[in-house]
Each structure stands twice: as structure tokens, then as C-alpha cells.
Structure 1
Amino acid sequence: MRRSPVLAFALMAALPAAAQEARPDGLRWDGIAPTLQLAEGNFTVRPLVRLDADLGSFFGQDEPGGFRSGVNLRRGRLGLGGTVLRDFTYTFVWEFGGSAPNDYNNIYEAQIAYTGLGWATIRAGLFTPQHMPEYAGSSFDLPFMERAAITNLAASLATGDTREAAGIEGRGELGGGGARWNASAYVTGGVGSTPHDGRQRGAAGRAVVLLPPMGPVQFQIGADVAAQFHPGTDPGPQAVRLRDYPELRVDSRRFLDSGSIRAGQAWAVGPEAAGRVGPLYLEAVWQRLTVEPTDGPTRRFDGWYVEGLLTVIGPARERSNETGTWRRPKAEGRFGSVEVGLRYSTADLGATRQSIWTAGVNWYLTDRFRLQAQYENGRTGESRDFQAIGMRASFNL
């Protein structure tokens, strides 16, 4: 009997999936990345490695006692990840690097997630919640060496890296025409690597909508919120302290600092927008931070950033349906991919304000190896001007 073309095509399309299901247990390789499969695919394990080696040089500082140049193993992560019973994923990662100087190491991530719902993931443990666009995706996708200061300030209230949290992350299509949505919500505790905030309690969330494409234009809008209901400072009185680095982490000094504020609660809220036109990607975020002191009037701070990235060699950034962020360009061809970027960020903490222009270039030699270089021109406070050059070599497995 002659097989219809439609049936033949369906059978051919099903072959890769069937082959995947029938693949015997053992060690598989994706380039240099190994995965061990056991129990007929019900258990998998793979190594996780992330190395970011940084060099930063500050100059053009008019005031004494300014930022200091140096080198830093910004990220030195080793761990394991995989699946259990197909619908559960797990990750355990140890951090040997960090902000300079760092003479200790600690757990970076220890989490388990249920993915069987399809449209959503339920996650718990120590991990980085999908709050703020620069934290929602992988740090390997970040276009500059560090996140904008306002991102770190807002996230410090209830999210950020190594946060004790439990929550849900959803995604899906929105009607027809290519519109999509992503949303996340968490209850959170302290930071696993910070010993003094174990009693901290908070909540956070993010929601974005990708509008139907208009020719070559993709546009996404959304909002982020974080609330700290109980600072959990121990020992000492309950307090909130907002501070950040000059968007390089080769020196421990942080002149952008609100000081310690005795407070019962604090929150951050604001919109985000992102989009792509061909090889050009644009992103903007604004946040209002509010602190409720126990012995004084409400204090309000704010900040924002806007950035643009242009892929000059290779394919442009593409949106991830899992996280609602735009991933790094894929490394293709003999020379990989290259993108250039420009960002302006500012954060106002009342007593101090920091504003920085950053220009950078990213060279993705392969999908696992990247070189970065950037130039900063900034000011902290009323008169602390500075310039800096930063370089990074990254490996991600």
C-alpha cells in the first residue's frame, strides 16, 4: 500500500523524538559538555562550570581615596545539575569567586523545580528569582560586566543571587499574532551567603508582555515589584541599607550608599521596556525605592538605566520564551559573534548619587567562551568623578 506524503512526513518528524526516548543510558556529549543518563532517562546529571576573570583599572579621579584598580575572579562556580523523574530539575552550585576582596566560598545555588505543568515551573531553594530583566536571564547573557546599579539596589530588598525563595514562573502565548507573556511570583527569605539576614521576609514578582511583531520590530513592556516586610537584621536593630559598586567589582569600596536606615519595611516598583529592530536591541528600566523608617518620615529613592546593543558580526539577540529576556547572540562562523553596546545608568539615594556612561564590546568566540571590554565615565556624589576600563574572560559550561 502506498504511504501518503502527510503520513510519511509525520513519521519522519516523530523519529528524532522516538530516538531520544529510546536512547540507552550512558554518557552523552554536547560538544565538550557531558551528560550522564541513568534509569532509562529518569535521572540525568551534568557538570556546571562558570568562570569570569576580571581586570579593572580606574583613573581620572580628582578626589583622594577613590576606587582602586585590581583583578578579581568575579565568578568561579562549580556544580551539578540535571533531571529526576523527567519532570523535576535540580541544581547545586558552589561559588569560589565573588566581589573583591573575597577570601571565602559559599553555596551559590541549591534548588529543585517541577516542570510538569508545561506552562509554568514551580521552584524552591536557593536561586536567582526572575525579578528585573538583568536577573531574569543568565548572567552570561548580560551585555556589560555588571548589572546597572538600580537593578542591584531594587533586587537587594527581596531577590538577587542566592536568595532563599519559593515561587512560580509562568509563560505562554497571549491570543494570536505572536504575542506572548511571562510572569513570576515568589515569597523570599534571606540571602544564603549572607549570615546576618536569616530572618528576612519578602515577596517579589515580574510580569511582561511581548506585543505582536510589527514587521522587523519586537516590543515588550512589563513591570517589576519587590517588597521587604521584615529586614531580619541579626544582630542589631532592624535596618535597611542600600549600596552598590561603580558597576565594576575589582574593589570593595562602595560610595553609593544610603547608610543604615532603621526600618520596618521597604519596597521597589517600576516599569521595564525592551525591544529589537533587526540587529539593534534596546532596554530601559525605572525603579522607585521606598523605605519606611521606624523613627522618621518615609524615604524615597529612584534610579533608571537605558541601553542599546548592536550586533555587528553574527546573528542578533533572540528572545527567550522561558525567561522573557533577550539572550546573547549565538556564536556562528569562523570568528563567532560581536556586539557593541552603550548604557547610561543613574541611581539617587539622597545623600549620594551615582551616574555612569558605559561603552562596551562583547566577542562571543564560541557559545561557551566570551571576551568583554568596556569603558566607564561616571560620577559618585557631588564631585567624585572617575573613569575606568574593565576586561573579562568568561567560560560557561
Structure 2
Amino acid sequence: MGATRLGAIAIGLAGALAASPAHSQSAGGGSDAEIALLKQQLKLLEQKLDKLQKQTNANTATAASANANAKAADAKAARVATANAAIPVKGPVAPSGVVVTLPNNRPTICTADEQNCVAITSRVHWDVGGYDYRPNTAGTVPQKLDSGENVRRARIGVVGKFFGDWNYSLIYDFGGSSDGFGGAAPGSLPGGGTSGIENAYLSYTGLKPFGGKMAIEGGIMDVLWTMDESTSSNDILFMERASAGIIAQNIAAGDFRSAVGTRWWNDQLWIGGYVTGPTTGQIHSASSVTPAGSSEQYGSVVRIAGNPINGKDYSVHIGADAEWLIQPPRNQLTQAQTLTLSDRPELRIDPTTLISTGAIANVSGAQVYGVEAAATYGPFIAQGEYYWFNIDRSANTGLPPFGAPSLKFDGGYAQVGYVLTGENHAYNSSTASYSGIKPRDPFSLASGGWGAWEIAGRVSQMNLNDQIAQATGIAGGRQTVYTAALNWYVNNNVRFMLDYLHGDISKQASAISSADVGSKFDAVALRTQVAF
């Protein structure tokens, strides 16, 4: 506004100056001093106008620069805000908040500090298969094995922890063919166990002595005794474990077993020991008339194992096991103390046992000693175990036979596997065994993945004959089974297993009768496995 007024004044003065000569002429030659004064004022006004114009231009440039800087600052702030919006910011979490995760697709709920968790776990093993069974003679029992299907395992339950160090598990098995004690339990099929509580235990892991980890646990559990049993049924190479290991652990270890004990481990060494009792499939009743119907059985097991040689692509595992049956099952009604060793032919489609000692009388105790070894090199794995059995028959029950000598049996297996797609079995130091395969490219039609493929082979042998040709001897039979397997790991939760078995059972009618009652068989079976 000031510059406009000065411009108007300057225009007015210029007009007045222009009119001055005419005015002086008409006035008869006015004063020259007055004209000079007006020119001087006009010049001063022009100088002020120039000065103000320069100041106005400078102010305009400064304002334009400030506006540009402001726009640049706004743009920079917008970019920073956008970048920060892409970065997740962890705000304060309420102590009562929970976090839901799906590790390996297992629904898991934990507190924000991950000290308290509960997870749902399940596994389903559905088997379909058939036998070509060939009894050697008409006196062989059985004369036929039934083909068909079997829900081998159908487990669901919860696992979790409290305050970081207290771990628990409660799992029920609805499947119809657990391994069972001595191959039979009340209410079960002739050669199998029964559905029931598979896990119900509490474990404390707060102690970490000697630079390792330690667990003190008790309840109903899978006792980690033998390498094959310490490997999860979700991870074993074949549909069933070898008979020698099953018969050994059924004496005082295995699944569904009541036990209390401890284990310690680090990356190279595992040591564990447990005191064990009866299984959940046994009837705790003084009026029971079956050998399994006694609640007084107890024993103990120890295992030492580890992988002293290991690297990125290789490992070597060795170990030793011992088991003692201190108080055999006792029938409270008859005072009989008996023990039966038996197993099905490494397949559970038909529950019939082909080798069995029958009920061994006057058992005062039993011992089993074993060795285990395994090795991996890239996708290759080899594993084997062997067991020696001793059954003492010196119990004074008043029932025959009296003073019979101890019985000795033995058996074992050797197996190899190779993952065609290159994955390997990782070592699990907490159980001193090898875990299953995690496919690098899970099966997917969209991405073109085909999962992981594995081939495997095993030969197993179990001898339940001793003191043949003596009245006090046992002719339980000798079983040899050859198994070939093709495993397809679709993803971390689904697996298909195709097994072919050829078995040869050499058996005579009794310890004092050499009549042949053996048999041979071939079998093909497919398992569909879902687990999380």
C-alpha cells in the first residue's frame, strides 16, 4: 500500500511540474526557485520509490524461497511418515495379554512373556493292507491272517508349560492297537493293547547342572528307553518298530507306562533313568485272574547314549541300555507271577501274534541289556540295536515248574534309509534319537513342489526259543522279517508310508515236540499319517 501511495504522489508532482511552465508563462514568469524545489522533491520521492521497490522484490524472493523450503520439508515429513508406517512398532503389552501362534500348524496359546503356554496336539495313523499268509502245516496256529484296515493311532490332547519350567502333557489314544504289555491286555484284541491315556505327566526343567539340561518327570509317559522307542512314531522309517525292541520295552518300559525318573542331556550326551510301574491298560484289581491284572509290578530302566562325532552333514550315535523287572506282575488271587513275551509280525492290520513264549511261570525277575548305534551322512541314515534277555524263574509261588533254570533270548535289527530329495534326519539331543524329514519343497500344485521322498530297508530277527528238548524249555519261535519302505513326506504334517514285508517264522509245537508249526508271509500296507 505504501508503494502505491508514493506512486500516486509522484504522478501528481510530475503533473504539477509539467504544468508549471505554462503557469509561469501565464503568470508572467513565476519564481524559478519554486520550480527547482519541486524538482528536488520529485527526485527524492523517486529515490524512495526505487528503494521501496527493491525491498519489495527482496521480500517477494524471500517469501518464495521460504515457501519452497516449507513444501520440501512437508514432502520429506510425508516420506518419513510413510516409511515409519511400514515398520511395526511394539507398544506396551498388558500383562494379561496372550499370543496365539501355529508352530508346525499346532494351535498354541501363550502369555506375552511365553512363560505359560497350552497347545493342542494330535496324530492319526490309518493303515490299510493285506497278507499272503502261508502256514507250514495244518497244525500251525493261526491258519489265516485277516487283511483290512486299522486306525493304528488316533491321539488328541494338550501339552504346555507353567512359569517356564513346569511342563505337562495329557493325551488320549482312541486307536485300537497299542503295543501293550506282553502283547495282550484285558479288554484288548488277542495280540494288541487297548485305547487309553497315553500321556499324563508333569515335568520340571528348571535345573541345568553341568552345563546341560535336566528334566525330572513322573506320570504316564513314553519312557525314553531304546533308540527306536525314543524316536517318535511320527518319525520312524517303517510303519512299525522292530519286534526285538517292542518285546524288550514291553517288560518294564514302552508306551502308556507309569514311571518317575530323570534325564540329563547336552549336545553330545544323554543319560536317563526311571522307576516304572504297570501300564494304563492293566486292571488294578485284586480279583483279576489275568497276569496283566496286577498293580504290583515295578521295575527300572537306564540308558546312556550320545553322538560324540557330528558335523554339518554327518553324525555318529552310540548307546547302551539296561532294564530290570524287579517285581513281576502278580495275580493277587492265585499268587502266580507270570510273564509273556510276544509280538505281531511288525504289522498291526491283523492283531495276531506269530511268536510268543506263552505265560512263563514262577518269574522272579527279568533283565534286558542292549546296545544301539546309528550314523548319518547327508541324506543317508543307518541304525541298529541288539538285545539280550534273561528271565529268572526262581519265584516260590507253590506252582510248577519248581526250580527251573533261567531263560535266555535275544534279537535285534539293522536298517538303512536314503532321502532321494536330499533332506536329512536331524539329531534330537533331548531324546538321543533322530527326527523326521522336513521337506524343502512341500507338495503344491501351485508352486510345483513335490515334498520329500525316502526309501528304506530293514532286517530284524527275534529268537524266543530256549532249552529246546527239555520239559522246562520254551519254544516261542524264531521270527525273521525283511521290510522295504517308500515314504512320501507331503509336508511337515502329512506323510504316506508304503511297506512291503516278507516274514519267516520258524516254530515247533513245543519244547519237547519238533513238529513244525511255522509259517511264511508277505504283506503290503499303506499308512496315511496326519500329525501336529
So what's the TM-score if we normalise by structure 2? Answer: 0.67
Pick from 469, 491, 495 the counterpart of residue 366 of structure 1. Answer: 491
CA-to-aligned-CA distance 1:336-395 (integer Å, 9 cap, x gap): 111110000000000111110000011110111110000000112243011101110011
Q: Which moved more, 1:209-218 or 1:244-253?
A: 209-218
**Secondary structure, counterpart of 1:251 in structure 2:** coil
The corresponding residue for 1:251 is: 350
Identical counterparts, % of pairs: 27
Pick from 173, 176, 182 the counterpart of residue 270 of structure 2. Answer: 182
Q: Specify whether residues 305 and 103 from structure 1 end up closer, same or farther in structure 2 by C-alpha distance, changes over 3 A only.
A: closer
Pick from 501, 508, 516 the counterpart of residue 376 of structure 1. Answer: 501
Higher helix proportion = 2
Q: Specify whether residues 20 and 70 from structure 1 end up closer, same or farther in structure 2 by C-alpha distance, changes over 3 A only.
A: farther
Q: CA deviation at 1:246?
A: 0.4
- Equivalent pairs counted in the alignment come to 375
The corresponding residue for 2:160 is: 82
Q: Which amino acid aligns with 1:386?
A: F
User: How many Å separate the matches in 2 of 1:240 and 1:366?
Assistant: 42
- The correspondence of residues 1-397 of structure 1 with structure 2, limited to 5 A, is 24-30=97-103, 32-38=105-111, 41-63=114-136, 65-99=143-177, 101=189, 105-118=195-208, 119-173=213-267, 180-195=268-283, 196-213=293-310, 216-235=313-332, 236=334, 237-262=336-361, 263-294=363-394, 295=402, 296-333=404-441, 334-350=449-465, 351=475, 352-382=477-507, 383-397=518-532
Q: Specify whether residues 132 and 21 from structure 1 end up closer, same or farther in structure 2 by C-alpha distance, changes over 3 A only.
A: farther
CA-to-aligned-CA distance 1:69-98 (integer Å, 9 cap, x gap): 121110011111111111011100111103
Q: Which moved more, 1:208-217 or 1:137-146?
A: 208-217
Q: Is the 8 A contact 1:191 1:198 kept in 2?
A: no
User: How many Å separate the matches in 2 of 1:19 and 1:87?
Assistant: 25
Q: Is the 8 A contact 2:95 2:112 kept in 1?
A: no
CA-to-aligned-CA distance 1:280-319 (integer Å, 9 cap, x gap): 1001111001100133001000001000010111411111
Q: Is the 8 A contact 1:371 1:394 kept in 2?
A: yes
Unpaired runs of 5+ in structure 1? 1-17, 174-179
Q: Which amino acid aligns with 1:194?
A: Q
Q: Which amino acid aligns with 2:385?
A: V
Q: CA deviation at 1:194?
A: 2.1
User: How many Å separate the matches in 1 of 2:309 and 2:490?
Assistant: 33
Q: CA deviation at 1:212?
A: 2.6
Q: Is the 8 A contact 1:164 1:192 kept in 2?
A: yes
User: How many Å separate the matches in 1 of 2:372 and 2:350?
Assistant: 30
User: How many Å separate the matches in 2 of 1:170 and 1:21?
Assistant: 36
User: How many Å separate the matches in 2 of 1:307 and 1:74?
Assistant: 22
Q: CA deviation at 1:209?
A: 2.7
- Considering Cα pairs closer than 8 Å and 6+ residues apart, tell me whether 1 or 2 has the greater RCO: 1
Largest Rg, 1 or 2: 2
User: How many Å separate the matches in 2 of 1:149 and 1:216?
Assistant: 30
Q: CA deviation at 1:145?
A: 0.5
Q: CA deviation at 1:46?
A: 1.0
Q: Specify whether residues 27 and 129 from structure 1 end up closer, same or farther in structure 2 by C-alpha distance, changes over 3 A only.
A: same
**Secondary structure, counterpart of 1:143 in structure 2:** coil
Q: Specify whether residues 20 and 363 from structure 1 end up closer, same or farther in structure 2 by C-alpha distance, changes over 3 A only.
A: farther
User: How many Å separate the matches in 1 of 2:435 and 2:317?
Assistant: 14
User: How many Å separate the matches in 1 of 2:225 and 2:94?
Assistant: 35
Higher strand proportion = 1
**Secondary structure, counterpart of 1:211 in structure 2:** strand
User: How many Å separate the matches in 2 of 1:103 and 1:129?
Assistant: 17
CA-to-aligned-CA distance 1:234-290 (integer Å, 9 cap, x gap): 354111110001000111210210111120100100211111122110011110011
Q: Which amino acid aligns with 1:116?
A: G
Unpaired runs of 5+ in structure 2? 1-90, 178-187, 284-292, 395-401, 442-448, 466-474, 508-517
Q: Specify whether residues 213 and 34 from structure 1 end up closer, same or farther in structure 2 by C-alpha distance, changes over 3 A only.
A: closer
Q: CA deviation at 1:22?
A: 8.8
